[in-house]
Amino acid sequence: MTFELEFLDGKRAVPRQLLSYRWSGDVTAGCDGLRLHFLWDGDLPEVYRVRGFAPDGACCFFGYADQQKLTVTPGQRRGFVYARSSACLLLDNEALPISLNAPNVDQMVHHYAAPFGFTAALPAGTAPGQYTVEKGTSCFGALQGFMQVLGAKGVFVDPENRLCVYGSEVPVTLPGDQITSITAVTERGEAPGVYAYKIASAEPYCRRLEAGYFADKKISRRRYVNVAAYPPEQRQQVLLRKLEQAAARYRRLEVVLTGAHRLPLYAPVVPKDGVPDSAGFRIFQREITGTARQVQTRLVLCCQPKLEAMYYVAE
C-alpha cells in the first residue's frame, strides 16, 4: 500500500520512505484507524487528510489526521501520523437531541450526515413510530441506531464518503496456504447473562432480559440499564443490541495471515479445512500491518448465536 498526506494548504506529498503502517477496522468502532511511521525531509507541515491506495491504485482509505509527530535525531527525521477514516466526523459531532415521529432514512441523512458532506447508499425505510436521539449521542450513533431499528446490522462509511449498511457482503474464503496461526478464544469474563432494566424513572429495576444462550453456559452476571428515556419502539432494540454484541464477542477466532488482505468487514467466512468451527462466523475486525520486511493481516471472526432471549418481570 502507498499513502498520501494532504496539508492545510491543499498540497499533497508521499512520505520519502514508509517505515511501517497499521490500518485497523472494527464493525463496532464506527471508523477505521491508521498509523503511519515514515522518514521525512525538513519540517513536516500540518497534516489535514490522509489517503491510502491499494496496489491497483484504488483508494481504500480516506480520513482526517488526529495527531502528528516529527522526531529529530542526528542524521534522521522520523514522522508519525495517526488518522481516522472520514466517519470520524460523524463520531466527533454530537447529534441534536430530539424525538421524531416516524422519520424516514432521507430525513435522518439530511439532519445528521449531509451537513458533513456524506451521501447515502442506504436502503429506504421509515421508523414504525417515534425515534428518540438521546443527549450525548453522536451523529453516527443517531444514524446507526435508526438503521438498526429498521433491521440493519450496522452502518459504515466507504472511502467515497457514502453511508452504507452491513449485511450484503459476499462470502469470503480464507487462503489456507497464507494462514500462519489460528487462535480460538472464549471470553467468559465480560458476558452479561441478565439485564435488569426499567422503563419508567420512578419504578425499580424489576424487568429482566435474560439470554438462554448464556444461562446454558452458567453465566448469570447482571447489568442494570435505564431505558425510560426511549420510546417503546426502541427499548427492546437498545437492550437486544447490547446482548447481541456481548454474544458475538463471547467466542471468536483470531486468524493471522501473511500479506495484505482487504477483506470486507462483516463478510461471512466460508468454512474450510484448517479453520476450526468457522461455520456462521463473520469478519468483525481486520488489521493490516506492514513494514519493509513483511506485511500481515490479523482477522477477528465472530458469530451471532441464537440468544434465546426472554423478557419478564421479576417478582
Burial class (CB in 10 A: 0-12, 13-18, 19+), 46: exposed
Structural domain contains residue 273: yes
Domain co-membership, 260 together with 217: yes
Q: Which domain holds residue 106?
A: 89-165
- Domain-terminating residue out of 130, 165, 200: 165
Residues above pLDDT 90, as percent of the chain: 71
Domain co-membership, 159 together with 189: no
In angstroms, the CA 250 to CA 304 distance is 9
Instruction: Summarize pLDDT for 107-116 with one digit per residue, the tens.
Output: 999 999 999 9
Domain co-membership, 193 together with 247: yes
What is the tally of structural domains in the chain?
A: 3
CA 26 vs. chain centroid, Å, equals: 4
The pLDDT mean for the chain works out to: 92
Of 269, 275, 272, 276, nearest to 303 (Cα)? 269
In angstroms, the CA 269 to CA 125 distance is 29
- Domain-terminating residue out of 84, 101, 122: 84
Burial class (CB in 10 A: 0-12, 13-18, 19+), 301: buried
Quick one: average pLDDT of 226-231?
A: 88
For the domain that residue 74 is a member of, what is the CATH number? 2.40.30
- pLDDT reading at 276 higher than 60: no
- Residue 308: what pLDDT? 87
Domain co-membership, 263 together with 287: yes
Structural domain contains residue 236: yes
All residues at 6 or more sequence positions from 17 whose CB lies less than 8 Å from its CB, including other chains: 38, 39
pTM recorded for the entire structure:
0.89
Domain co-membership, 128 together with 223: no
In angstroms, the CA 228 to CA 127 distance is 19
Of 17, 51, 48, 47, nearest to 34 (Cα)? 51
Q: What angle do CA 65, 70, 72 make, to 5 degrees?
A: 175
Structural domain contains residue 224: yes
- Domain-terminating residue out of 136, 165, 194: 165
Structural domain contains residue 171: no
Domain co-membership, 290 together with 186: yes
- pLDDT reading at 20 higher than 90: yes
Of 249, 229, 286, 296, nearest to 85 (Cα)? 286
Structural domain contains residue 309: yes
